[in-house]
Structure 1
Amino acid sequence: MTAIISNKGELLKTISSNDETVELNTPKGCQAVEDPPEPNMYYQDGWVVMPAQPTSYHIFNYDLKDWIDPRTLDEIKAQKWTEVKSERDRLEFGGFEFEGNTYDSDQVSQGRIMGVAVAGVDQVWTLADNTTVNLTASQLQQLYVALQAHIASVHERGRIARQLIFDAETKEQVEEINL
């Protein structure tokens, strides 16, 4: 096999053929060299292994011989906000603590907690780990208050993160933001 590389060392294609065909398939400004011994290599007086790709957004810059993130600051901010919203939803719907137990907080569970808090009756409640606990009507109302505090806390963290994203002036500042 023969590798056709650009003048920047980028592997363009590999072919298996005689020298004349290789020459005909080598574009101007490119050269034919020995096939790379492994994937993810570039050519610079011999094959060199590329460093690991930092993120899926990075592309390899053959001039710099390094990975770069070509996204604009606004694109990075939009992606970070998408990630924060996803994490916010995961936290909101991923359960919460009340009186030492973990309760489900998915949308169905939130509706059930609201309904039982309004009903004002004692009830056996199934916890996130599928064990049960006896709760009084008063505890069920407190459970609802704890759920609302949990949701409010998660969303407050989301609002803070969104403002930090909006205010960020560099890619590095955006990347440091977590929910």
Structure 2
Amino acid sequence: MKRVLLNDDASIRSVLEGTQELISLNTPKDAKFVDDIEYISSTDYFDSVTSTFVSIGESPSQHHTFDYTTKQWIDPRSLDEIKAQKWAEIKSQRDQLEFGGFEFEGNVYDSDQVSQGRIMGAAVAGVEQTWTLANNTTVELTALQLQQLYAALQTHIAGVHERGRIARQLIFDAETKEQIEAIQL
């Protein structure tokens, strides 16, 4: 025999299995329960109208919790918390774009912090160099091209950060969760 003990909100409190006598001895006097009705997950809740357990389904996001009283997923974060989370996501995306490479004269160059320093040093040195691209092939660059490469890098960085500033302002100005969620870098 199986007995499912329920909380006041119809969520599963615990499950007792064993003989009728053992289950009766371990069931509190004021407990709400159902006997021998199958459930799939300990997160299910009991629907007394249909006398069945109902799955709460998948969470819409990592931030949602299930409210067993209303039988709905809710996001308990405040608007300020949602804004802070979105800004953290945008900053991460901004960093990935800045350090994830950029294009110059049809080739993709690395733009991580070390590569940025190397590009700046090569531009200042003013001598022709063989440069290793993001795909590990090489290209010959003149001193002028190295200066142009550095300018392209700076333009890339400035563009990424401009997009970040715009997104940050939109987040700051947003008045609803839906407005915040719609913001992209």
Q: Shorter-normalised TM-score: what interval?
A: over 0.9
CA distance in structure 2 between the aligned counterparts of 1:169 and 1:175, rounded to whole angstroms: 11
**1:128 aligns with one of 115, 124, 134:** 134
**1:42 aligns with one of 28, 41, 45:** 45
CA distance in structure 2 between the aligned counterparts of 1:28 and 1:71, rounded to whole angstroms: 35
Are the structure 2 counterparts of residues 168 and 26 from structure 1 closer, same or farther at C-alpha, using a change threshold of 3 Å? farther
1:15 correspondence with 2:16: yes
- Contact 1:84–1:178 (Cα < 8 Å) also in 2: yes
Moved more, 17-26 or 143-152: 17-26
1:4 correspondence with 2:10: no
- Contact 2:3–2:36 (Cα < 8 Å) also in 1: yes
**Identity among equivalent pairs (%):** 58
- Aligned partner letter, 1:15: L
Deviation of 1:18 after TM superposition, in Å, equals 3.6
Question: What is aligned with 1:30?
Answer: 32
Stretches of structure 2 that go unaligned for 5 or more consecutive residues are: none
Name the SS of the counterpart of 1:89 in structure 2. Answer: helix
- Cα offsets for 1:93-119 (capped at 9, x unmatched): 000010111000000000000000000
Question: What is aligned with 2:120?
Answer: 114
Aligned length: 179
TM-score between the two structures when normalised by the length of structure 2 = 0.89
Question: What is aligned with 1:142?
Answer: 148
Stretches of structure 1 that go unaligned for 5 or more consecutive residues are: none
**2:160 aligns with one of 150, 154, 165:** 154
**1:177 aligns with one of 160, 163, 183:** 183
- Contact 1:3–1:36 (Cα < 8 Å) also in 2: no
Name the SS of the counterpart of 1:12 in structure 2. Answer: strand
- Aligned partner letter, 2:18: S
- Contact 1:88–1:154 (Cα < 8 Å) also in 2: yes
Deviation of 1:49 after TM superposition, in Å, equals 1.9
TM-score between the two structures when normalised by the length of structure 1 = 0.92
Deviation of 1:151 after TM superposition, in Å, equals 0.5
CA distance in structure 1 between the aligned counterparts of 2:40 and 2:71, rounded to whole angstroms: 17
Name the SS of the counterpart of 1:121 in structure 2. Answer: coil
Are the structure 2 counterparts of residues 35 and 143 from structure 1 closer, same or farther at C-alpha, using a change threshold of 3 Å? farther
* Cα RMSD for the two superposed structures: 1.7
